[in-house]
């Protein structure tokens, strides 16, 4: 059965190729993230990223079609991860205020465990949804998705009378902005402080800003 053998050999090859490719993707992804975090996207040269990944420039281009694509990929991947992680925490809790608290926790946890992406994210400076702004359209798009998820939460919370009224999209961005400020400060201070601490502080602040009953005694009890 030479045919079968051939097929199997080719499929073995196929999967070997895919495996190797996945490894490269990861190496490059992380190298790029680190480099972008350190020097900014603009000042990071493709060659530096390849060197950081320990690969040849050509190999980098075999996996990612260009610098722009690399940036997009990072933002999309990380944001998908963030949204997924936050959703996992949030989905179980129906109560809006509680969900908000969980969301903050998820948000902080995600970035605390991805400090390179955090720095890259902060460095891009989020243009707060300003359509057409493109410090990085990729960042914009990926991040926008995450914000959309929060909008729903705010809609629900307002409908339930738990949150102060307002435009959900703006509220969502406001939340994100507050989180960025705190995370930026955390990075600036050397990431020494316990993230759980950060979470508490941010939760209190968020309650003040968004909840009609900021004390939320029932929430605390949980």
The DSSP secondary structure of 88-132, one letter per residue, reads HHHHT--SHHHHHHHHHHHHHHHHHT-HHHHHHHHHH---TT-TT
How many helices and strands in the chain, by DSSP H and E? Answer: 10, 0
Q: What CA–CA distance (Å, rounded) separates 172 from 169?
A: 5
Enumerate residues 56-95 that contact DNA by CB under 7 A.
Answer: 56-59, 61-62, 65-68
Residue 9 touches which of DNA, a second copy, none (CB < 5 to 8 A by kind)?
A: none
CB-count burial class (<10 Å; 0-12, 13-18, 19+) for 219: middle
Measuring CA to CA, which residue among 120, 123, 42, 10 is closest to residue 75?
Answer: 120
Q: Does 209 bind DNA (CB under 7 A)?
A: no
Least Å distance, CB 158 to DNA, is: 44
**Residue 93, token pair as written in the block:** 């809790």
Residue 114 touches which of a second copy, DNA, none (CB < 5 to 8 A by kind)?
A: none
Least Å distance, CB 67 to DNA, is: 4
**Quick one: DSSP state of residue 65?**
S
Enumerate residues 42-61 that contact DNA by CB under 7 A.
Answer: 44-47, 55-59, 61
Of 125 and 159, nearer to a second copy (C-beta) is: 125
Least Å distance, CB 119 to a second copy, is: 7
Q: Does 178 bind a second copy (CB under 8 A)?
A: yes
Q: Which residues bind a second copy (CB under 8 A)?
A: 40, 42, 119, 122-131, 133-135, 164, 166-167, 169-170, 173-174, 177-178, 180-185, 187-188, 201, 205, 208-209, 214
């Amino acid at each position: 059965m030479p045919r079968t053998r051939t097929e199997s050999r080719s499929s073995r090859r196929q999967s070997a190729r895919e495996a190797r490719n996945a490894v490269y993707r990861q190496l490059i992804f992380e190298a790029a993230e680190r480099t972008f975090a350190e020097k900014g996207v603009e000042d990071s040269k493709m060659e530096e990223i390849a060197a950081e990944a320990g690969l040849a420039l050509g190999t980098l281009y075999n996996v990612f079609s260009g610098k722009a694509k690399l940036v997009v990929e990072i933002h999309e991947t990380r944001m998908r991860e963030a949204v997924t992680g936050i959703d996992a925490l949030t989905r179980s809790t129906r109560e809006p205020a509680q969900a908000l608290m969980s969301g903050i926790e998820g948000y902080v946890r995600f970035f605390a465990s991805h400090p390179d992406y955090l720095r890259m994210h902060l460095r891009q400076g989020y243009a707060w949804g300003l359509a057409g702004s493109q410090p990085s359209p990729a960042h914009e798009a990926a991040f926008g998705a995450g914000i959309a998820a929060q909008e729903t939460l705010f809609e629900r919370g307002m409908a339930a009378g738990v949150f102060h009224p307002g435009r959900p999209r703006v509220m969502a961005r406001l939340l994100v902005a507050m989180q960025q400020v705190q995370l930026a400060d955390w990075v600036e201070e050397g990431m020494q402080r316990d993230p759980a601490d950060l979470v508490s502080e941010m939760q209190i602040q968020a309650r003040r800003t968004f909840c009609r009953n900021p004390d939320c005694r029932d929430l605390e009890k949980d």
